[in-house]
Structure 1
Amino acid sequence: MLEIKPIENLLEISTLKQAYFAQSTSPLDGMWHFGFVPMSTHFGFYEQENLVGYCCVNGEGYLLQFYLSGDAKTDAKELFTLIAEQNSSVIGAVNGAFVSTAEPIYLSLSLDNSSAVTVNALMYKQAKTSKNGYKKELELKLAEPAQLDQFVEFAATAIGAPEQWLSGYFCNLIGRKELFGYWDEGELLATGECRLFDEYQTEYADLGMIVAQSQRGKGIATQVLNWLVNSANQRGLTPICSTENSNIGAQKAIKRAGLSSSNRIVQVEFNKK
């Protein structure tokens, strides 16, 4: 008989996480899986006290990951439906799921219980390293700790993200030497991120970029991405990134930088029984 219990220490499921990532058909989005997932509530699936799977649910009641070992005796479809129909008193309310098309098992289970599906974001990956080399157009500089407030203010103005969250996020990137800036006459006009993975997807670099609203449409986004792609390639890494389905400008810049998209992150709403 299966028992569902909260997971307090994520190290308990590290082996299961590794198996979860191994099931994917393409690298998974870094922000979702290494930014949002650790902040979500995790639950373990136990058979006779043996941990055979897990799931996690964010603060809005959406599943972000679901995995059940192939060695488990429990039927994955039955377990997922139980959760989706909110019949687990341990997990509680579950409204839907965020899942990528690179996660076929999790996606199929989500679709089995769906009432609506919308595309949230496009996932990109560099298909092959350019043989033409990098044409230097602009130079990004590594962010320094003393510049944290400048980066926070810039991003809050450019994309409207909460300053408190940005402060912690950028502080971590600066400490890891993964945040860069493009200045012109002392003014910060764009930021670039080249985020490395500590585990599971270590052969990839997850790119991010923000351009000042006043500078958009001038080709800066493509130049920043070209610089980041080249930086990743010089380390022997394959660049990946994602952008919202509605952000047509970013999609064009990403395509011009040599990345292509064959996967999506979708938001699935569950049937309410």
Structure 2
Amino acid sequence: MLETVADLRAWRAAQASGSVGLVPTMGALHQGHAELIRRAQAENSAVVVSVFVNPAQFGPGEDLSRYPRTLPRDLELSGGAGASALFHPSADEMYPAGFSTRVQVSGVTERLEGALRPGHFEGVATVVLKLLELARPDRVYFGEKDWQQLAVVRRMVLDLNVPCEVVGVPTVRDTEESPGLALSSRNAYLTPDQRVRATVLSRALRAMQAAYAGGEHEVGALLGAGQAVLAQEPELSTDYLELVGPDLQPLTGSLDAEVAAKARLVLAARLFGVRLIDNMPLLHFAGK
């Protein structure tokens, strides 16, 4: 258990002879996080998991104060999945008095989540860069569920020549009570029945995949297939449903095979007061 910057630096120095994997999280860990940790453990000599509810990435009126905090369970899950250490700093430790630096990544931050949550990705980029500097990992692991976040981190690491490989790990989904629902710490806000109804997000994305596989290549028609599924849930309010390319710009017209192979379906919606996001590749691959 590491609680200070000095603790983390000392731990990292002790791992000098082997590779280190970093799994940044905000806690409330679930099996999606466990998959990240297992992947990191398989590819590195040691793994550090950070648990830090980052105030810099929450906007006014968002759920910073009520974001689930489950540190004892997080410790147990991290250790069981193969983590070597857990870094759990305070906000004052990460942002001491006088802290005045923000990291801004242009381009990939300006649409979708970035447009709806001003300043969010500045907060993400700032804390991730701090963690990369402190832990100096050989590899850092993020889930594909936060697709835009993954793109932002990759851009930042590339632009700033950070000597670290960014590894995206496929989204883990429920297979039992709410089949297809992307695992998320915010699912804890939903009742079991509401989580079942939240599977409408993944069903909409699957409908779009199926439409493409069935021969529909017009973006408008593909989006219509997803919107038709979303319309079946009267409590759902959609923030966006788009088909985007690697640069996160919206695709239009008819898709050729090369463009379709790199296309991503992205979706954000509110259900019972809870904001949920999901994404899938347009081309269906097992487990994604």
- Structure 2-normalised TM-score? 0.31
Q: Which has the larger radius of gyration?
A: 1
Q: Going by fraction, where is strand more abundant, 1 or 2?
A: 1
Q: Going by fraction, where is helix more abundant, 1 or 2?
A: 2
Q: Which has the higher contact order (CA 8 A, sep 6+)?
A: 1
